[in-house]
Amino acid sequence: MQDLVVGRIVRSHGVRGELVVEIRTDEPEDRFAPGSVLRGRAPKTRAARDVEYTVEAARHHAGRLLVRLEGVADRDAADALRGTLLLIDAAELTSPEDPEEFYDHQLIGLTVHHVDGSVVGEVTEVVHTPAGQLLTVRTAAGQDALVPFVTAIVPEVDVAAGRIVVDPPEGLLDPDRAETADGRDD
């Protein structure tokens, strides 16, 4: 079973047990639909085992997602869940319909190859930024490189074969050889 984080409980909202949830999924309307079952994993400083929660209700309010979970009926119970990660099992997901769309867990662990065929390293993380997604690639030299996840730089993703092909601009994967702003090599 591979865990996927779909949200994190930030704090309580009001006195009736509603929770402010930081969304970590592209499909919050599906993941937080009434009746959905999520596993809650408390921060490491608390409970050591996951607890199942059923979503009772979810609504957007002032740019936030407010969620009610069965069994969380007051502010004290909601406050006790602060920092809890909300998880689903990757096996519950269906593959995206768009062949150019991937879940983060599908990319992590893939071997990264340069267009010339050489092995660059392995994807260790997918970073989501307002400007787009970045792949964190641990290079053969043991350094992390951030690779923009765009077709011009990542022309091929083959999840079944466990590989990604990159065509990086000069210096992206080897920052020590990058050119300076005035165009001269360091």
Give the model confidence (pLDDT) of 50-70 as tens digits.
899 999 999 998 878 999 999
Q: How far apart are CA 59 and CA 135, in angstroms?
A: 32
pLDDT for position 153: 95
Kindly list the distances between the CA atom of residue 47 and the CA atoms of 52, 84, 96, 106, 173, in Å, as whole numbers in the listed order. 13, 10, 34, 29, 40
Q: Which tokens hold the place of 173?
A: 């994967």
Across 132-136, average pLDDT: 89
* Statement: the pTM of the whole predicted model exceeds 0.75: no
pLDDT tier for residue 92 given thresholds of 50, 70 and 90: confident
Please, what sign has the CA dihedral across residues 51, 54, 56, 57?
Answer: positive
Across 112-141, average pLDDT: 89
The least confident of 9-18, 43-52, 156-165 is 43-52
pLDDT at residue 96 greater than cutoff 70: no
Residue extents of the structural domains in the chain: 3-92, 104-177
Tell whether domain 104-177 is in CATH 2.30.30.240. Answer: yes
Strand, coil or helix: what is 11?
A: strand
- The more confident residue out of 148 and 140 is 148
DSSP 39: E
Q: Are strands 163-166 and 111-114 parallel, antiparallel or unpaired?
A: parallel
pLDDT at residue 185 greater than cutoff 50: no
Looking at 2.30.30.30, 2.40.30.60, 2.60.120.580, 2.60.40.650, the CATH number of the domain 3-92 comes to: 2.40.30.60
- The more confident residue out of 177 and 44 is 44
Is 121 in contact with 140 (CB distance < 8 Å)? yes
Does this chain's domain 3-92 share its CATH topology with 104-177? no
